[in-house]
Amino acid sequence: MNVLVCISNVPDTTSKINFKDENKSFDSSGVQFIINPNDEFGLTRAIWLQQKAGATVTVVTVGDASCEPILRKCLAIGADQAIRIDAPPTDGFFVANQLAALCKKENYDLIIAGRESIDYNGAMVGGMLASFLALPYLANCVQFEMEGSTATLQREIDGGKEILSASLPLVLGAQKGLVEESDLIIPNMRGIMQARQKPLTVEMAVEVEAATTIQHFEKPQKKGPVRLVDAADVDTLIELLQNEAKVL
Amino acid sequence: MSVVVYVESQNGIIKKAGLEVASYGRAIANAIQTNLIAVTFNTDDASVLNTHGVDKVYNIDTEGDIFFNVNRYSVSLAAIIENETANIIVVSATANGRYLGPILAAGIKAAYVSNVVALPSSYDPITVKRSCFTNKAFNECVSNQSRTVISLSSNAFGLKEQTTDAEHAEADYLNSNSTLKVTATDSITDKVTIADADIVVSGGRGLKGPENWHLIEDLASVLGAATACSKPVSDMGWRPHSEHVGQTGKPVATNLYIAIGVSGAIQHLAGISSSKVKVVINNDPEAPFFKAADYGIVGDAFEVVPKLIEKLKAIKQ
Ligand SMILES: Cc1cc2nc3c(=O)[nH]c(=O)nc-3n(C[C@H](O)[C@H](O)[C@H](O)COP(=O)(O)OP(=O)(O)OC[C@H]3O[C@@H](n4cnc5c(N)ncnc54)[C@H](O)[C@@H]3O)c2cc1C
Ligand SMILES: Nc1ncnc2c1ncn2[C@@H]1O[C@H](COP(=O)(O)O)[C@@H](O)[C@H]1O
């Protein structure tokens, strides 16, 4: 079984977000990058398939050489091989096309993307990729179990869960629930040493135009100070919410 | 040329998010002087769309396919979009809308722009403001395609009424060859969901344990609010995962967000910051949430919250 996990290289969740070039690009100076949290849940689920069902796990990212430490981390966590598609990830459509080109060359039984990246927040690459490959896609996937070539799945919906089935190959949008926080694998020394020997190949990007262009970024407006109400005086809070904020 | 909106309904009733995309679609249709077409599935009574500016409604009967079927919905919508020569399509930011959007966009060769928070600033080319970096920033995004699918953030535009006399049209529920089949849903039906709620009451580790959650639930119940929690609270199993909000959980974009015993870590705030009014109750005046909140009480949740519930109950009666 061949499993592909799509990895997005994103700023650490604690990062302060700043822009440069007249707000036209993200300022990565001083920013620590991590594996997109949703992708890490997906990677962990893939490693289970490797451990229990002998699956081969490949990780892929679309990005420049600065993404390689993240791919090495995935290898240290346990992925068998890594691929970097050498192009700036201009938009979700562009990334999905690059990933689709790779998937058409290789035969993956299962492709795992994250529900959403925490930088672009497109929540689009997985669904588009599946459509380009004419495969089923399951967004917000919180459970994946396999029996032969049939998968039993769960999707988180507003106010509950949906239970589904599909046959492989298939694309998942992983999120917390697929595995738990406590299941995440922290690379040990042996993993880190082994990761240095594992293959990390760089592939050329295919020719494709992005569907969207970012004109510029901006930061939210600074908000005023909090209005404090005395703990003994909840009436005042209710009054403010009713008459000033008009939300009750 | 026209604007098509996907209007979501649940158990035959149009959701608020569905009326919001209709309102938003109407504003676009007015700006570019074209028709607004709504597509909905299995809606009992679509007449409410007459008050939200819709010119034409396709209410598709899914013939007993009772669950949301992303592929069949997508191809059925695509056929209507072709017929109506729509170049702007709007979906809501509900779980289903966000699932459908990219699949539909790929199917009709459109650009897809999610998390949109305002009307387009330009129509030629379509340029919209969207949130990114989990609400820590926005970006102005230009569509390079002749068609654009927009996913509108919840509560970003609100409901606007405009009376129209909507024409009702028929369309087929088309087939797809996807192997994906929904077999059942497992829903907490009698509770307000975070996605639908106008008010969300959220509890953090400051509540000390699951046995104290009646404080959150009682306050939510008197306000008609949904309940939520911080990540450690769901990690420890005090509350279900579906209540975890923040950067790695659910986004919250309500009118009122009340955080009790939540410190206000950057990852928590990122996910809830597009809520309009934020209230914090925390016994530590240095808790970072006070910097992000509009109103706050420095105090013990175990004293303040029962008083708040009691007073609100008295008002609501
Ligand atoms: C990669 C990553 C992603 C993350 N994503 C998220 C996310 O999506 N959502 C999220 O919430 N967190 C997230 N976190 C965790 C985040 O960093 C914080 O650890 C978490 O939000 C803290 O939860 P808390 O406020 O409930 O607990 P604490 O930080 O322990 O705060 C408890 C608060 O309760 C107050 N308190 C204590 N007793 C009382 C009382 N009697 N009355 C009133 N107040 C009281 C305390 O003063 C304190 O401020 C993430 C972390 C990482 C590393
Ligand atoms: N540059 C990239 N390279 C590889 N996979 C990506 C990239 N960007 C996004 N993805 C995948 O697509 C998912 C959804 O991303 P997005 O559509 O940007 O929210 C992520 O969780 C990743 O799995």
Nearest to A235 among B142, B270, B311 (CB): B311
Q: Is A36 in the pocket of ligand 2 (CB under 6 A)?
A: yes
Interval A164-190 mean pLDDT: 96
Q: Are B25 and B90 in contact (CB under 8 A)?
A: yes
Q: Is B233 in the pocket of ligand 1 (CB under 6 A)?
A: yes
- What's the pLDDT score for residue B1? 86
- What's the pLDDT score for residue B188? 67
- The CA-CA-CA angle for residues A8, B154, A245, to 5°, reads 125
Which residue shows structure tokens 């694309």?
A171
Q: Is B230 in the pocket of ligand 1 (CB under 6 A)?
A: yes
| pLDDT bracket for residue A77 (50, 70, 90) | very high
| Beta carbons of B133 and A38 less than 8 Å apart | no
Q: Which two tokens stand for residue B21?
A: 């995309």
Interface test with A, best of B235, B297, B312 (most A CBs within 10 A): B297
DSSP conformation class of A63? S
Hey, whose CA ends up nearest to atom 37 of ligand 1?
Answer: B206
In sequence order, the 6+-apart residues with CB closer than 8 A to the CB of A93 are A124, A128, A210, A211, A212, B111, B112
Interval A71-99 mean pLDDT: 98
Q: Are A133 and A104 in contact (CB under 8 A)?
A: yes
A28/B86 Cα distance (integer angstroms): 39
| Beta carbons of B103 and A213 less than 8 Å apart | no
Neighbouring CB atoms inside 10 A of A200's CB total 17
Q: Is B290 in the pocket of ligand 1 (CB under 6 A)?
A: no
DSSP conformation class of B257? E
pLDDT at B205 over 70: yes
pLDDT per position as a tens digit, A200-242: 999 999 999 999 999 999 999 888 999 999 999 999 999 999 9
| pLDDT bracket for residue B29 (50, 70, 90) | very high
Nearest to B193 among A158, A230, A247 (CB): A158
- Can you give the CATH number for the domain in which A67 is found? 3.40.50.620
Distance from CA of B184 to the nearest CA of A (A): 5
| pLDDT bracket for residue B189 (50, 70, 90) | low
Interface test with A, best of B248, B252, B257, B266 (most A CBs within 10 A): B248
At residue B263, φ and ψ (nearest 5 deg) are -75, -30
Give the ligand at the shortest distance from the Cα of B212.
Answer: 1
| Sign of the alpha-carbon torsion through B92, B245, B213, B280 | negative
- What's the pLDDT score for residue B142? 98
Query: How remote is the C-alpha of A218 from its chain's centroid?
Result: 23
Grouping H, G, I as helix, E, B as strand and the rest as coil, residue A175 is coil
Instruction: Give the rounded percent of residues in chain A with a pLDDT score beyond 70.
Output: 100
Domain that holds residue A30: 2-244
At residue B178, φ and ψ (nearest 5 deg) are -65, 145
- What's the pLDDT score for residue A158? 87
- What's the pLDDT score for residue B34? 97
Regarding an ipTM greater than 0.85, the answer is yes
Q: Are B41 and B73 in contact (CB under 8 A)?
A: yes
DSSP A7-32: --EEE-TTPPP-EETTTTEE--TTPP
B109: left (phi > 0), else alpha (psi -120 to 50), else beta? left
Higher pLDDT, B200 or B247: B200
Neighbouring CB atoms inside 10 A of B163's CB total 9
pLDDT per position as a tens digit, A1-51: 999 999 999 999 999 999 999 999 999 999 999 999 999 999 999 999 999
pLDDT per position as a tens digit, B165-175: 999 999 999 99
B12/A158 Cα distance (integer angstroms): 16
- What's the pLDDT score for residue B83? 97
Nearest to B106 among A128, A180, A212 (CB): A128
B1/B200 Cα distance (integer angstroms): 39
| Beta carbons of A160 and B187 less than 8 Å apart | yes
- What's the pLDDT score for residue B196? 84
Q: Is A124 in the pocket of ligand 2 (CB under 6 A)?
A: yes
B310/A31 Cα distance (integer angstroms): 47
B103/B112 Cα distance (integer angstroms): 9
Please give the model's pTM, rounded to 2 decimal places: 0.94
Count of domains for chain A: 1
| Beta carbons of A165 and B181 less than 8 Å apart | yes
Interval A115-134 mean pLDDT: 97
Q: Is B128 in the pocket of ligand 1 (CB under 6 A)?
A: no
- What's the pLDDT score for residue B316? 83
In the sheet that B295-298 helps form, which strands lie side by side, from edge to edge?
A: A227-229, B295-298, B277-282, B256-260, B199-203, B226-229
Nearest to A164 among B111, B180, B248 (CB): B180
Length of chain B measured in residues:
317
Q: Is A117 in the pocket of ligand 2 (CB under 6 A)?
A: yes
CA closest to A132 among chain B residues: B106
- What's the pLDDT score for residue B195? 86
| pLDDT bracket for residue B120 (50, 70, 90) | very high
B226/B221 Cα distance (integer angstroms): 8
CA closest to A220 among chain B residues: B137
Nearest to B102 by CA among A92, A222, A88, A176: A92
In sequence order, the 6+-apart residues with CB closer than 8 A to the CB of B254 are B155, B194, B197, B198, B199, B200, B275, B276
Quote the mean pLDDT of chain B: 95
Distance from CA of B165 to the nearest CA of A (A): 31
Between the CA of B250 and the centroid of ligand 1 the distance, in Å, is: 15
Between the CA of B287 and the centroid of ligand 2 the distance, in Å, is: 33
| Sign of the alpha-carbon torsion through B125, A208, B147, B149 | negative
Interface test with A, best of B178, B255, B258, B305 (most A CBs within 10 A): B178
Query: How remote is the C-alpha of B35 from its chain's centroid?
Result: 24
pLDDT per position as a tens digit, B36-86: 999 999 999 999 999 999 999 999 999 889 999 999 999 999 999 999 999
Give the position, in ligand 2's atom list, of the atom nearest the Cα of A113.
23
Distance from CA of A135 to the nearest CA of B (A): 7
Q: Are A98 and A87 in contact (CB under 8 A)?
A: yes
Hey, whose CA ends up nearest to atom 6 of ligand 2?
Answer: A8
Interval A181-201 mean pLDDT: 96
Neighbouring CB atoms inside 10 A of A32's CB total 10
Instruction: Give the rounded percent of residues in chain B with a pLDDT score beyond 70.
Output: 99
